[in-house]
Amino acid sequence: MTALPIVALTAPIHPEAHARLAQAAEVRTATDGSPDALRAVVREAQGLIVRNHLPEDIFDHAPHLRYVVRHGVGLDMIPVAQATARRIVVANLPGSNTAAVVEYCLSAMLHLRRNLVGMDARLRSDGWAPARAMADGGTELQGAVCGIVGLGAIGSQLATVVQALGMRVVGLTRRPQALPPGVKAVDKQTLMQTADVIVLCCPLTPETRGMIDAQSLAWAKPHALLINAARGPVIDTPAVIDALAQGRLGGAAMDVHDVQPLPADAAVLAAPRLLLTPHVAGTTATSMRRMSEGAVDDMLRLLRGDAPSHPVNTF
């Protein structure tokens, strides 16, 4: 009897997708997301489905590995160059969490503009009149300018949604010729000076690392909101904290962080007007199922010798 191929998971996937994969492979799940646990789980694997950051030396510990599928979109979790050098196929799932991230960005805008959570707390603690008075400080999105950095699948869909709410959209992208309808291409300084809401949807690259720095924030309107749904290092976190503390930025939402998980003494935990979430913009029950099903579909294709739906590297 031929042994089944071994497919490693860096973290659990949707149970129905797991069961389907287990019909064609022996599935092994890492005990946790630590580098040592990830190195251990890939030791005998031919395939790997990735939900955690892989250590840079992961492939030194995976002599049989041939296929890597990202459970999602972002490739900064995978040392792609090292995989390519070893002729390991890497694939990802563009669009698999687009709706979830777009809805997160919209939720963050509404949270920061209307403060319904704070109003609820005030109503419960202080009563009707103090809570009702908080509504006077709320502002609408209609008529405001949304500046989107990164106009890929997520940024483009967000542009469509916010335009439907009556916002005007400016965008910063490497491909201004491919902007969606209604979006005006601008440079970084113009975007920062123009936007009432700044949303980061770009990948982490050498060009985007630290792009929202003290100078960028100095250009921003003092009431502007900053939403980071990209990667933590895209912003200079101390500069954002300082701008919030000094009243030079109206508010911010950070779903991604320089260090994850956030340490208990992280400075962002004490920053004012800051919505913090633990890297969940793309995570809903719906998107998790979609990503798991897509990752298993691609892994099964690869195990059969077929091409994945969205190959990342070429040989």
Instruction: Express each pLDDT in 134-174 by its tens digit.
Output: 999 999 999 999 999 999 999 999 999 999 999 999 999 99
242: helix, coil or strand? helix
What residue has token string 């992961």?
A: 58
Both structure tokens of 90: 């890497």
Q: Which amino acid is at 244?
A: L
Domain 6-96+285-304 class in CATH? alpha beta
Query: pLDDT at residue 1 above 60?
Result: no
pLDDT in the model for residue 314? 86
pLDDT in tens, 51-70: 999 999 999 999 999 999 99
**Could you tell me which of 6, 10, 9 has the C-alpha nearest to residue 35?**
10
C-alpha 27/C-alpha 232 separation (Å) is 31
Task: Give 164's contacts (C-beta < 8 A, 6+ positions apart).
Answer: none
C-alpha 246/C-alpha 244 separation (Å) is 5
C-alpha 28/C-alpha 21 separation (Å) is 11
Exposure string (b/e) for 266-284, b if CB count within 10 Å is 16 or more? bebeebeebbebebebbbb
Is residue 41 within 8 Å of 28, Cβ to Cβ? yes
Fold classification of 98-276 is Rossmann fold (3.40.50)
Which ranges in the chain are annotated with CATH 3.40.50.720? 6-96+285-304, 98-276
Query: pLDDT at residue 279 above 60?
Result: yes
Is residue 203 within 8 Å of 76, Cβ to Cβ? yes
